[in-house]
Chains A and B, each alone.
Chain A
Amino acid sequence: MNFLSLVCVEFKKIRRSKIILIMFIAAVILWIPSIVNARLNFKMDDVGISPENNYMIQGFLGMAWFMFPASMIVGIVLLNQTERGNRGIIKMLSLPVSTVKLCLAKFTVLLSLAAFQVLILTIMYYASAAITSRIQDYNFILPPLFVFKEAGLFFLAAIPMIAVFWLLSVFIQTPVFSIGTGFASIVPSVLMINTKIWFAYPMSYPLFIITYEYGKLADNMEASQPKLIPWIPVAAGITFVCIIISCLCFGQAERK
């Protein structure tokens, strides 16, 4: 079986799960407080950020710090449960398909879910910005090129984090620990972005990127320029190591 058809099979497996619905609700919930508290955007004089930029960045910050990592963990549980329920993984392993390909196909599905969530988030941003513009009588809508660039950066920065979560779920068989470790790793990311070694902690990348963009857009805030030299190699290294180890270990426990 070639890789593309394997990915299609993986998508077919989660077709009837309502993950899209849950992601959609998450995006809606994210923007509701922004619409309700839209007036606060005009009181950001001390930070020196324009209301429309503040509106977008605050929403993305909320997403980056908790909702996006948490929904990735939920997505991983979904992928694992469809396999482990009724011992489906045993059937998959008995087929003449390489486990490395199988693992990569699942990871691709996970990345697509992440990309889809960022896309829904961006679309909902436009919907909510349109509503807020109507209510507040002020144009909150930013040019699409800028917003999609931010969303794209956000997604790219999230890839190492997703790889780490995937490794955790492949490596740790007990669901309590793989979910628990994932959740526990989200919480300190707020503290990590303020330290010098933030680049060693993949869970803080999305939040760091959005905070950096916030600093750039605000006149009175210092934007700590990310040093690309330790960051990009470290991030790429972490991603590759995680993917390689998870490919090698995938299905090991079941094959024993």
Chain B
Amino acid sequence: MNFRSECRKIKRTGFLPAFIAGGFLAGAVPVLNMLFRSANYIKPDVNPVEVLFMANWQTMALLNILLVLEGACILYHTEYTDNAMQRMRTLPFNESGLFINKFLLVLMMCTILVAIEAAAIGFCCEHWFGGTVIHGAAGYMHICIEILESLGYSLLLVLPAALLSLFIASICKNMWVSLGIGVLCIFTATMLPADNFVLSLFPFAMPFQILAGTAPDTVYNFITACIAEIIIILLAEMLFLKARRSFE
């Protein structure tokens, strides 16, 4: 199954505009926060990226993860309504290919989402910290790299949550069940204590992590755990599809 037909399926679901609107909404969070409360954040010797992330990332990450969950639910909803899935299963290709393609689509959307957020944070840095905290071209260059690193890290950490939501969505035939389970998972993630490393490895809790101001060891651990989770969820999905195929 090629990637292009996946893109064609989402044409009338409003998937793409939803992600772009979500990106702008999440991007508006730091801008509005700085607009109203910039006095709390602007101090002479601070790291602008760290300050902006500390102040806004919890809200932005929550928006991101809700959007990813909803996107995952919609992607499988289009398959399960009106029994389109049964037709898909009669075609000569693997059902796991469908999952991979849907995942690539979510990955692409997350990249757009994160790019919009990067632009928003970059704008905040330039507008409120430029000249006072950031000096010269080298300073700007440094900030740019830092923003890209931070959001690349966030993009990586959101992937296990995206995969897990797709996994749940592929199990449940009704969209509201997968949405309900996803909401429960996100709620659990917000209730988990932040200082416990093992608990913060829960896929839905990982997107709330921040790169700036974290020890390199911890970052390394998170990246390793994240890749491990991606592999585990992919394998679990393959096994699940095989099992379901042989029982249905």
Contacts and interface: CB of A to CB of B under 8 A. Distances in A.
Select the residue from B74, B82, B175, B176 with max chain A CB neighbours within 10 A: B176
Nearest to B21: A180
Interface in A56-80: 62, 66-67, 70-71, 73-75, 77-78
Interface in B162-180: 174-177, 179-180
Contact of B62 (A22, A37, A177, A187): A187
Contact of B14 (A26, A85, A174, A183): A174
Interface in A1-50: 17-19, 22, 25-26, 29-30, 32-33, 37
Nearest to B173: A85
Q: Is the interface of A mostly helix, strand, loop or mixed?
A: helix
A71 B180 contact: yes
Nearest to B62: A187
B48 interface: no
Contact of B190 (A66, A75, A84): A66
Given A77-B179, A78-B176, A179-B179, A22 B21 contact: no
B74 A18 contact: no
A89 to B, nearest CB: 13
Nearest to B191: A33
Contacts of A70: 183, 186-187
Nearest to A188: B59
Interface string A142-186: 000000000000000000000000000000001111011001100
A30 B183 CA distance: 13
A52 to B, nearest CB: 20
Contact of B81 (A19, A74, A85): A85
B158 to A, nearest CB: 16
Contacts of B74: 175-176
A174 B175 CA distance: 13
28 contacts: A17-B174, A17-B176, A17-B177, A29-B184, A29-B188, A32-B191, A33-B192, A62-B191, A66-B190, A67-B183, A70-B183, A71-B180, A74-B176, A77-B179, A78-B174, A81-B174, A81-B175, A86-B82, A174-B14, A175-B77, A176-B13, A176-B71, A176-B74, A179-B70, A180-B18, A180-B21, A184-B25, A184-B66
B176 A187 contact: no
B105 interface: no
A204 B64 CA distance: 21
Classify chain A's interface size.
20 to 34
A29 B187 CA distance: 9
Contacts of B81: 84-85
Contacts of A29: 184, 187-188, 191
B191 A30 contact: yes
Contacts of B77: 175
Contacts of B181: 22
A175 B175 contact: yes
B18 A176 contact: yes
In order of increasing CB-CB distance, the 10 nearest A-B pairs are A77-B176, A78-B176, A174-B14, A183-B66, A74-B180, A176-B14, A70-B183, A22-B180, A176-B18, A33-B191
B15 interface: yes
B191 A22 contact: no
Contacts of A37: 193
B188 A77 contact: no
Nearest to B83: A86
Contacts of B188: 29
A85 B82 CA distance: 7
B184 A25 contact: yes
Contacts of B63: 183-184, 187
A226 B42 CA distance: 33
B9 to A, nearest CB: 13
Contacts of B14: 174, 176-177
Contacts of B207: none
A128 to B, nearest CB: 13
B63 to A, nearest CB: 6
Nearest to A67: B187
Contacts of A177: 14, 18
Contacts of A187: 59, 62-63, 66
B67 interface: yes
